[in-house]
Amino acid sequence: MMNKTVLSILLTASVVSVAEAQTKLVEKVTRQGDELVIPYTKYKLPNGLTLIVHEDHSDPVVHVDVTYHVGSAREEVGKSGFAHFFEHMMFQGSDNVADEEHFKIVSESGGTLNGSTNRDRTNYYETIPSNQLATALWLEADRMGFLLDAVTQPKFEVQRETVKNERGQNYDNRPYGLVYEMTSKNLYPYGHPYSWTTIGYIEDLNRVNVNDLKNFFLRWYGPNNATLTVGGDVKPEEVVKLVEKYFGSIPAGPAVQDMKPQVAKLDKDRYVSYEDNIRFPMLRMTFPTPESGHKDEPALDVLAEILGQGKTSIFYKNFVKEQKAMQASVYNSTSELSGEFSVTVMAYPNTPLAQSEELARKSIAEFETRGINDEDLQRFKAQAESSLINRMASVSGKVSQLAYYETFRNNPNYIQEELKRIQAVTKEDVQRVYNQYIKGKPAVILSVVPKGKSDLLAKAVNYTISKEGYTAGADEYSGLKYTKAVDTFDRTQRPTSGKNPVVAVPDYYTGKFKNGLEFIGTNSNELPTVTLQLSIKGGHRLEAKTPEKAGIASLTADMLNEDTENYTSEEFSNELDKLGSSIRIGSGSSETYIMVQSLKKNLDKTLALLEERLFRPKFTQEDFDRLKKQQLEAIANQATQPTAIANNVYSKLLYGEGNIMAIPAAGTEETVANITLEDVKQFYNANYSPSVSQLVVVGDISEKELTGKLDFLKKWKKKSVQLPADVKTPAVEKTRIYLVDKPGAAQSEIRIGYMAKPYDATGEYYKLGLMNYNLGGAFNSRINLNLREDKGYTYGARSYFSGSEYVGPFTASAGVRADATAESVTEFMKELTDFQKNGIKEDELQFMKSSIGQADARQYETPYQKAGFLGRILEYDLKKDFVKKQTDILQNITKQEIDALAAKNLPVNNMHIVVVGDKQTVLPKLEALHYEIVELDTDGNPIGSTSAK
């Protein structure tokens, strides 16, 4: 069993203003044998801050997480969105950290960072090289204790616009983006902490002022309402000293009490609805269930899986398999105060949702006759174990788990209890929760239908939100005072960094079977797992031989996920789930890929299933008809999505008529309609060959042990596959704006660029990545700081080069406010032109070198990161010293070289500018710019041209 000691040892504080301050060591947990546990040491500072330290020297990285026990549930009616808004403000500088410096300092240190907000908590986190720990703690402490004087009205206004852009991009303008909001406000009573969503309402964001926001900070952001978790290449005693120094003098905030569960209660079915710019009508039925951590949570999770998760589920059988819906799923999701058991059906176009509801109710009732069997529990428990282990693949994953368990269970080692709860679920438990929470119980039934299709509603709206019974909570915000820490050291001084950690490129082995299959692998015993990636070259590009059947590579890959000679797809899925393994097959522009994830103990059985899936597909007419229908519907649906339209039109302009890459990888309605089952069989037989395949293996397995298990791949019959050569793309005659009308769109999608270069690990392509970093490759890049942080036009803007073995484009892109479309185009082109003419600044050059140079510590941490790294070596035939060569290039590149690269590779007068937005809103201002405007339809065909004014 684990070793858990609870101690009352007092450690003398290092440098804090209060001499008698002492830090208490609460407990130390270590691993015993092979048990699933994350070792840690837990401390409590006198100001109430909880500190958890996890020591792990497997990679020279550190993850720092500060979780505040405050989310949108702590907000007031009429002031929604505060918790999330404040998350944004926490990146806008503090007393000793200038505006926009937080991102810059962490990026320059080779780290990555972000924050997130949900109903119940807000967290801020950095992953950094281990020599930068003091810097990360200094940054987090400065905004915990020294923020408010730096919160100004101008910063407040810019971030208000950014949050509104985020709401527009992720909620208002995203298909089905308001489902969660509509469900929440109709499921919970008026004023319930979960009756609004984390993003908040626009009217509330418009109403609040900067003092409201400051009060929110003073009430909830004290160290006594926070957990600081540090994990990775650290020693606990050193972390304690740094935390005492930087956090110890910050005064505690007002006391914070845990909120009590407030589960929703319904007396009858509530039918609600809204219309959206969508193709597929959606039905969402939501039943109230208990909160996270409740004894019934695991059994409800099992019930949801039986009803609607995976190919063994009732809903898959009745809806998807029978072609009654594109998708159908059931999930039990829980939060601190309440849970929600949700049934979601995405029906085919013009399907009355009353039919979907009727079949959903029959499918739920079918559980009573189907019952629950041993395999159901075996599947659930195996997948739960696998999920918990895979979450521990990175130090950030382990830190996040510890922080979550401490915040919501007051026990960082709750993973042990989690496992016990999962293993203890019985058939009787599942039957009981079905009867208690689902059978015959009322739900919120939401219909989302295409605009103008109210005839498809499940039922007419029968519920109106009422304020009856609502009483405002106690005033949490009167008499709050801002008291700063008093220190005995100079907090304005940024900590110095130790020596950069030495990062070892993973040691790897390579080989080749007689049939031409190449493999590469590395032995890593950090987790008892094995990850395999099999890449079969070709993909969408192979369709150049038969462009009239574009989409066949994608359809063939999908067919391989269905029935095999010895298993139905349901039986196959059942076998995989019982192992806690996964095998996924998909197709991209230049390859078909097979991803395999397995616990080491189940690898042999998983590989046997891989052999079955890869070499013995059944290719039934029934599967083909269903998947072809789904692919055609997905293609038709893209015509409603501004992002998809922008990407497709942009590709058509880049690659030109006659190039297979000008056609989406999924094909078009015309090309997919041409595909037959026989075509799929021929594509598989002709193009799936070891001679164009590469295997990457990462995990707890040696080369000798691995190759002994791969006889089925050694016997794979070799075929002659001719991979297509690159096709010359049309030159851009001059920079024009191509406008696609999306009536009513509140945001516009912008793509700017041209065809640039193929990938090269140590040539000009690599150097172009260095050149672009300051232009649009980092959060602190010129483009993002201008359009997001300075102007508030967008939630994010960037630029990048994306070459492969084939020539790829340079692209600058963003989703922007409709009323700022022309201004955004202007700012994009201004930044591109300035960089092309004047190049990089000296401080930017040093920032780029420092940031990219120190980022190596984060490159090879997880199995997927290692697999990606090894895959590139194999794909591009890279030498073992290529990383060293990249480092040499980075360290020695000069301003003159960067400037020359920019002058040559940013042809601002020869780029396509694609704008997808509401023509009525955006055209007048676009016409005022000095570009010819060509109007296109959603397929990229010209419908008109306007000269610049």
What are 406-425's pLDDT values in tens digits? Answer: 999 999 999 989 999 999 99
Q: Is the distance from CB of 605 to CB of 611 less than 8 angstroms? A: no
Q: Is the distance from CB of 71 to CB of 119 less than 8 angstroms? A: yes
Q: Is the distance from CB of 167 to CB of 815 less than 8 angstroms? A: no
pLDDT above 90 (res 233): yes
pLDDT confidence of residue 165: 87
pLDDT above 50 (res 809): yes
Q: How many other C-beta atoms lie within 10 A of the C-beta of residue 940? A: 18
Task: Give the integer Cα–Cα distance in Å for 435 and 913.
Answer: 58
pLDDT per position as a tens digit, 246-255: 999 999 999 9
Q: Is the distance from CB of 697 to CB of 657 less than 8 angstroms? A: no
pLDDT per position as a tens digit, 542-591: 999 999 999 999 999 999 999 999 999 999 999 999 999 999 999 999 99
pLDDT above 50 (res 2): no
Choose the most confident range, by mean pLDDT, from 96-105, 377-386, 416-425, 821-830. 821-830
Q: What is the DSSP string of 214-253?
A: HHHHHHH-SGGGEEEEEEES--HHHHHHHHHHHHTTSPP-
pLDDT above 90 (res 859): no
The region, left, alpha or beta by phi > 0 then psi within -120 to 50, assigned to residue 144 is alpha
pLDDT confidence of residue 808: 97
pLDDT above 50 (res 11): no
CA distances from 615 to 612, 619, 718 (A): 6, 11, 13
**Where does the pLDDT of residue 77 fall: very low under 50, low under 70, confident under 90, or very high at 90 and above?**
very high
pLDDT confidence of residue 723: 93
Are β-strands 112-117 and 50-55 bridged in parallel, bridged antiparallel, or unpaired? unpaired
pLDDT per position as a tens digit, 140-149: 999 999 999 9
pLDDT confidence of residue 6: 35
**Where does the pLDDT of residue 389 fall: very low under 50, low under 70, confident under 90, or very high at 90 and above?**
confident
pLDDT above 60 (res 131): yes
Task: Give the integer Cα–Cα distance in Å for 673 and 272.
Answer: 37
The two structure tokens encoding residue 492: 């304005």
pLDDT above 90 (res 902): yes
Q: What is the DSSP string of 866-929?
A: HHHHHHHHHHTT--TTHHHHHHHHHHH--HHHHHHHHHHH--TTS-EEEEEE-HHHHHHHHHTS
Q: What 3-state class would DSSP assign to 496?
A: coil
The two structure tokens encoding residue 707: 């190759």
**Where does the pLDDT of residue 860 fall: very low under 50, low under 70, confident under 90, or very high at 90 and above?**
confident
**Where does the pLDDT of residue 947 fall: very low under 50, low under 70, confident under 90, or very high at 90 and above?**
low
Are β-strands 736-741 and 932-936 bridged in parallel, bridged antiparallel, or unpaired? parallel
**Where does the pLDDT of residue 901 fall: very low under 50, low under 70, confident under 90, or very high at 90 and above?**
very high
Task: Give the integer Cα–Cα distance in Å for 186 and 446.
Answer: 9
**Where does the pLDDT of residue 208 fall: very low under 50, low under 70, confident under 90, or very high at 90 and above?**
confident
Task: Give the integer Cα–Cα distance in Å for 625 and 615.
Answer: 21
Task: Give the integer Cα–Cα distance in Å for 450 and 351.
Answer: 11
Angle at which helices 297-308 and 415-423 cross, to 10° = 60
**Where does the pLDDT of residue 523 fall: very low under 50, low under 70, confident under 90, or very high at 90 and above?**
very high
Map out the domains of the chain with their CATH numbers.
3-247 (3.30.830.10), 270-394+408-456 (3.30.830.10), 509-714 (3.30.830.10), 736-946 (3.30.830.10)
**Where does the pLDDT of residue 782 fall: very low under 50, low under 70, confident under 90, or very high at 90 and above?**
very high
pLDDT confidence of residue 414: 94
CA distances from 263 to 97, 192, 331, 334, 465 (A): 42, 10, 17, 10, 17
Mean pLDDT computed over 322-341: 98
pLDDT confidence of residue 818: 94
**Where does the pLDDT of residue 538 fall: very low under 50, low under 70, confident under 90, or very high at 90 and above?**
very high
Residue 592's DSSP bridge partners are 536, 587
pLDDT confidence of residue 639: 86
Question: Percent of the chain at pLDDT above 70?
Answer: 97
Mean pLDDT computed over 417-443: 96
Q: Which amino acid is at 410?
A: N
CA distances from 612 to 553, 577, 607 (A): 20, 16, 9
Residue 332's DSSP bridge partners are 341
pLDDT confidence of residue 21: 54
Question: Percent of the chain at pLDDT above 90?
Answer: 87
pLDDT above 90 (res 36): no
Choose the most confident range, by mean pLDDT, from 168-177, 235-244, 477-486. 235-244
**For all residues of the chain together, what is the average pLDDT?**
93
pLDDT confidence of residue 761: 95
